[in-house]
């Protein structure tokens, strides 16, 4: 088994919750009318509306894949020249916009903006186990509200296949995904779930400590790197959500929920049969679970 049972179950729980919350967020932006599906506008930032890209499903697939490759190359370049302040700015903007959109599905835009600013600040400057994983529950729902309207089930299927192939290459062949994950985690900027084998105690006072110096942050990063943890990348959460979101648009909310247990079981199988201290690409397994779930949905429920 790759990890002890407690962090494994916690990872699976957060994975499932993030999928469900993501579908709820997307569904809250979705309106079904007699004329078909209509998507609500995204919340505005200081009066400026956030607009979805004007792309067809095929263009969306290649745009997402191209963005991932370009982002990887940029990140590797920043890592090479140690420009981590740029990464922090990048993370801040991405976190803020995704959280703003996610919270905007439940509360007015102004309230969503304030909440997004608060949790983005906490995640980047007062982060801990609880803040980090709580925000992860909503980030991918915000992202899905942007991209689900641009996809169909067929294009989402193609996207999962391409991302699975890339994930397998990046982990097993080039191994640059491992390098990126370790670099992000060491600087407290990991995009995904991080669950230590021993859960830390949480105190509200931790949120009001003065900022650490660069040397203190470096020492903290070294200490954390020595603590055994279970991780799951953000892409392993967002891409199955895009697929189930495409099912949501076509067949409805409860049909989309059928996909989640199958992807979770596939992920659980990877954790169960995986070996300790070895890295595995999760997307090929999760994608297979999504496809099996859709097959069951199509054969028995539709």
pLDDT for the residue 87: 77
**Contact 29/40 with Cβ under 8 angstroms?**
yes
Q: Which residues of the chain have pLDDT under 50?
A: 211-225
pLDDT for the residue 205: 52
pLDDT for the residue 90: 82
What would the two tokens of residue 278 be?
A: 């070895």
Please, what sign has the CA dihedral across residues 280, 283, 288, 289?
positive
pLDDT for the residue 46: 64
pLDDT for the residue 149: 94
What would the two tokens of residue 35 be?
A: 């004329």
**Contact 115/72 with Cβ under 8 angstroms?**
no
pLDDT for the residue 106: 94
DSSP for 48-116 reads EEP------HHHHHHHHHHHHHHHHHHHHHHHHHT-HHHHHHHHHHHHHHHHHHHHHTTS-HHHHHHHH
pLDDT for the residue 33: 80
248-258 as b/e: b if 16+ CB within 10 A: bbebeeebbbb
Helix (H, G, I), strand (E, B) or coil at 193: strand
pTM, rounded to two decimals: 0.89
Closest CA to 292 of 253, 226, 240: 240
pLDDT for the residue 261: 97
């Amino acid at each position: 088994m790759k990890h002890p049972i407690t962090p494994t179950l916690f990872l699976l729980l957060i994975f499932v919750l993030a999928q469900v919350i993501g579908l709820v967020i997307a569904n809250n932006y979705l309106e079904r009318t007699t004329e078909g599906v209509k998507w609500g506008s995204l919340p505005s930032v200081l009066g400026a509306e956030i607009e979805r890209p004007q792309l067809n499903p095929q263009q969306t697939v290649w745009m997402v894949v191209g963005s991932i490759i370009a982002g990887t190359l940029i990140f590797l370049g920043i890592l090479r020249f140690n420009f981590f302040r740029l990464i922090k700015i990048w993370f801040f903007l991405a976190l803020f916009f995704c959280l703003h959109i996610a919270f905007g599905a439940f509360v007015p835009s102004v309230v969503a903006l304030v909440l997004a600013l608060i949790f983005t600040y906490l995640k980047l400057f007062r982060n801990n186990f609880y803040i980090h994983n709580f925000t992860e529950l909503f980030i991918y729902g915000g992202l899905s509200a942007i991209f689900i309207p641009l996809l169909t089930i067929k294009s989402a299927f193609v996207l999962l296949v391409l991302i699975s192939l890339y994930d397998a290459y990046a982990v097993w062949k080039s191994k640059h995904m491992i390098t990126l994950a370790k670099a992000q985690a060491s600087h407290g900027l990991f995009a995904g779930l991080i669950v230590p084998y021993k859960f830390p105690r949480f105190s509200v006072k931790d949120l009001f400590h003065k900022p650490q110096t660069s040397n203190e942050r470096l020492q903290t990063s070294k200490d954390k790197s020595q603590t055994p943890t279970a991780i799951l990348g953000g892409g392993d959460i967002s891409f199955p959500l895009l697929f189930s979101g495409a099912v949501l648009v076509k067949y409805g909310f409860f049909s989309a929920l059928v996909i989640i247990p199958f992807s979770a079981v596939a992920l659980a199988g990877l954790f169960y049969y995986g070996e300790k201290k070895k890295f595995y690409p999760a997307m090929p397994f999760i994608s297979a679970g999504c496809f099996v779930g859709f097959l069951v949905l199509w054969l028995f429920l539709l």
